[in-house]
């Protein structure tokens, strides 16, 4: 057999060439030789080109392998490659550090000898899944022997497997710490008495607490991750809306106080804080606080008037008594008989002025009270005949609904005045034929005394001013009757509340039960 060059038998080619030459004409022979020679030259050039292409491809593959090896060495994950017998074909330095072995010690060795026994079963189950389906797999495993949480990512390549191994221990600890921190924050947010909203930079509602659910009557499951201004659509264009926009754009805390647009007569204090996520918004119900502030201001005014009255009453009453005495004397003289009616009118007005001074003294903060255990029902029943007489005189009806209640600490004289003032105010608010109801009952730690009339009601703007000295809706009223009631209630550490509608007005006095 002849010598073969690049897959061609040279002897066979030579014999065929001579055969062709013998058969051909001399001129044709020369042509055939040139033609064959040129063909061989073209084939040699093509072969040389293919050889160059092959060498280039080999170099590119080698460069890619080198680059891949360099990448494997630079990545933070441990990497190893397994053959069909589960032997190491390639490993990077991170994996060597992980198993505490040199690269030469690992290549060609079975991987099960160097991987934690705790995860071997799960590990190979996942590896078989990747090879069988020829699809990547990813899973976490906890190694009890090292206390580490590991993440495996396996990529099949025919019968080989490329595996990347990450240590997630610190990440999981950080996530657990973050989760615990979030749980604590949520616990705090659910424990506070303020309503809380968290809004991101896109104005999406990302968190809220149960107090916010209660105030705004929202179910957080239905509003979370929705637009904040979609949820609080009534607030768009309000002062609160402007404050939120300012806090978000200028990154400065904002605050305001206003009536709620979502619940009647609810006063809310809003505090808006810029944060990394967007805005933290806290709402505090200050309705009761503002009521107490207003009540304290009113009581302080009453006390000031009472103390002023106590200071000057003696100086005023002495000359008034003198004037009254001389008027009585002069009124009985014959020479002034024709002016008796005028003297009597002046005496009546002096008595009225003296009565007003006495009422002023009732407003004094330091007026002594004698608190004793007593049955409130008995005190009401004792003066009921007097109340009934007032009702008959005014052509009205009065009835009592007194429940069984325990004794409480009261000043008998002051409570008597309180009942008379409230009942007579009720009579003055009704037309003839109306019915006034007095009731008492116990609930929780309090005793309630209520007076309900059937008058036309009191406008809200007037209710706020009731109890202010000299403010009265009656033509000849001094405005001191209800002011005195407030003072009596305050000295008993009780509270007085007025609710009114077009069907009538109910005044409720709430006493604390005796301990």
Same domain, 389 and 505: yes
Same domain, 267 and 294: no
Would you say residue 177 lies in a domain?
A: no
Same domain, 296 and 273: no
Pairing of strands 446-452, 435-443: antiparallel
Would you say residue 184 lies in a domain?
A: no
Position 12 scores a pLDDT of 67
| Pairwise CA distance, residues 53 & 55, whole Å | 5
Pairing of strands 267-274, 278-285: antiparallel
Which of 362, 394, 411 corresponds to the end of one domain?
A: 362
Position 3 scores a pLDDT of 46
Q: What is the Cα 67 distance to its own chain's centre?
A: 53
Residue 160: strand pairing partners: 157
User: What is the value of pTM for the model shown?
Assistant: 0.46
Q: Where are the alpha helices (DSSP H) in 363-409?
A: 376-393
Would you say residue 214 lies in a domain?
A: yes
Position 309 scores a pLDDT of 63
| pLDDT, one tens digit for every residue, the chain (515 residues) | 444 445 456 666 666 656 655 555 555 657 666 777 777 777 877 887 787 878 777 777 666 766 666 767 778 788 888 998 889 988 888 888 888 888 888 899 888 777 755 456 777 888 889 888 999 999 888 777 677 888 889 999 888 999 998 888 888 888 787 877 777 777 777 788 888 999 999 999 999 888 888 888 888 888 899 999 998 988 898 999 999 999 999 999 999 998 888 887 888 999 999 998 899 999 998 888 888 887 777 767 666 666 666 666 667 777 888 888 888 888 888 888 888 888 888 888 888 777 767 766 665 555 667 889 999 999 999 989 889 988 998 899 999 999 999 999 998 888 988 998 899 989 988 999 999 999 999 998 899 999 999 988 888 777 776 766 555 555 555 567 787 888 888 888 899 998 988 889 999 999 998 76
Residue 197: strand pairing partners: 208, 281
Q: In what order do the strands lie in the sheet with 504-512?
A: 397-402, 435-443, 446-452, 504-512, 495-501
Q: Where are the alpha helices (DSSP H) in 26-155?
A: 26-74, 93-99, 103-106, 120-133
Which of 330, 362, 394 corresponds to the end of one domain?
A: 362
Which of 285, 319, 352 corresponds to the end of one domain?
A: 285
**How many structural domains is the chain composed of?**
5
Q: Where are the alpha helices (DSSP H) in 236-286?
A: 239-250
Would you say residue 412 lies in a domain?
A: yes
Q: What 3-state class would DSSP assign to 236?
A: coil
CATH number at residue 98: 3.30.450.20
Same domain, 281 and 293: no
Structural domain boundaries enclosing 331? 289-362
| Pairwise CA distance, residues 494 & 513, whole Å | 10
Q: Where are the alpha helices (DSSP H) in 252-339?
A: 287-331
């Amino acid at each position: 057999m002849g010598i073969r060059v690049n897959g061609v038998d040279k002897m066979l080619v030579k014999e065929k060439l001579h055969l062709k030459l013998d058969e051909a004409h001399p001129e044709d022979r020369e042509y055939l030789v040139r033609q064959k020679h040129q063909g061989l030259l073209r084939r040699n050039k093509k072969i040389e080109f293919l050889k160059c292409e092959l060498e280039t491809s080999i170099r590119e593959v080698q460069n890619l392998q080198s680059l891949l090896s360099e990448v494997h060495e630079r990545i933070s994950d441990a990497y190893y490659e397994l053959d069909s017998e589960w032997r190491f074909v390639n490993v990077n330095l991170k994996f060597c550090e992980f198993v505490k072995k040199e690269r030469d010690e690992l290549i060609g060795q079975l991987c099960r000898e160097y991987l934690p026994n705790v995860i071997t079963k799960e590990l190979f189950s996942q590896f078989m899944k990747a090879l069988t389906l020829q699809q990547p797999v990813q899973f976490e495993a906890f190694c009890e022997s090292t206390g580490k949480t590991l993440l495996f990512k396996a990529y099949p390549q025919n019968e080989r497997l490329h595996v990347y191994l990450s240590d997630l221990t610190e990440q999981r600890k950080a996530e657990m710490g973050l989760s615990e921190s979030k749980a604590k924050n949520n616990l705090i947010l659910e424990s506070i008495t303020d309503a809380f909203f968290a809004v991101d930079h896109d104005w999406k509602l990302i968190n809220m607490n149960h107090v916010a659910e209660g105030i705004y009557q929202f179910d957080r499951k239905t509003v979370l991750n929705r637009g904040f201004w979609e949820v609080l659509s009534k607030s768009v264009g309000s002062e609160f809306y402007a404050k939120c926009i300012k806090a978000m754009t200028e990154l400065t805390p904002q605050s305001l106080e206003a009536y709620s647009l979502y619940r009647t007569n609810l006063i809310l204090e809003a505090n808006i804080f810029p944060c990394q996520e967007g805005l933290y918004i806290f709402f505090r119900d200050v309705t009761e606080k503002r009521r107490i502030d207003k009540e304290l201001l009113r009581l302080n005014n009453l006390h000031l008037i009472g103390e002023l009255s106590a200071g000057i009453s003696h100086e005023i009453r002495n000359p008034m008594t003198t004037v009254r005495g001389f008027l009585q004397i002069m009124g009985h003289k014959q020479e002034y008989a024709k002016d008796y009616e005028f003297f009597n009118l002046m005496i009546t007005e002096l008595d009225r002025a003296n009565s007003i001074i006495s009422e002023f003294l009732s407003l004094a903060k330091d007026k002594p009270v004698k608190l004793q255990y007593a049955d409130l029902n008995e005190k009401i029943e004792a003066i009921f005949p007097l109340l009934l007489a007032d009702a008959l005189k005014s052509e009205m009806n009065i009835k009592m609904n007194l429940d069984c209640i325990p004794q409480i600490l009261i000043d008998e004289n002051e409570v008597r005045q309180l009942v008379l003032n409230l009942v007579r105010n009720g009579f003055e608010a009704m037309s003839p034929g109306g019915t006034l109801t007095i009731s008492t009952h116990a609930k929780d730690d309090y005793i309630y005394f209520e007076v309900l009339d059937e008058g036309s009601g009191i406008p809200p703007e007037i209710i706020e001013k009731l109890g202010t000295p000299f403010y009265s809706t009656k033509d000849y009223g001094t405005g001191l009757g209800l002011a005195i009631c407030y003072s009596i209630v305050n000295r008993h550490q009780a509270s007085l509340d007025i609710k009114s509608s077009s069907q009538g007005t109910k005044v409720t006095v709430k006493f604390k039960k005796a301990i």
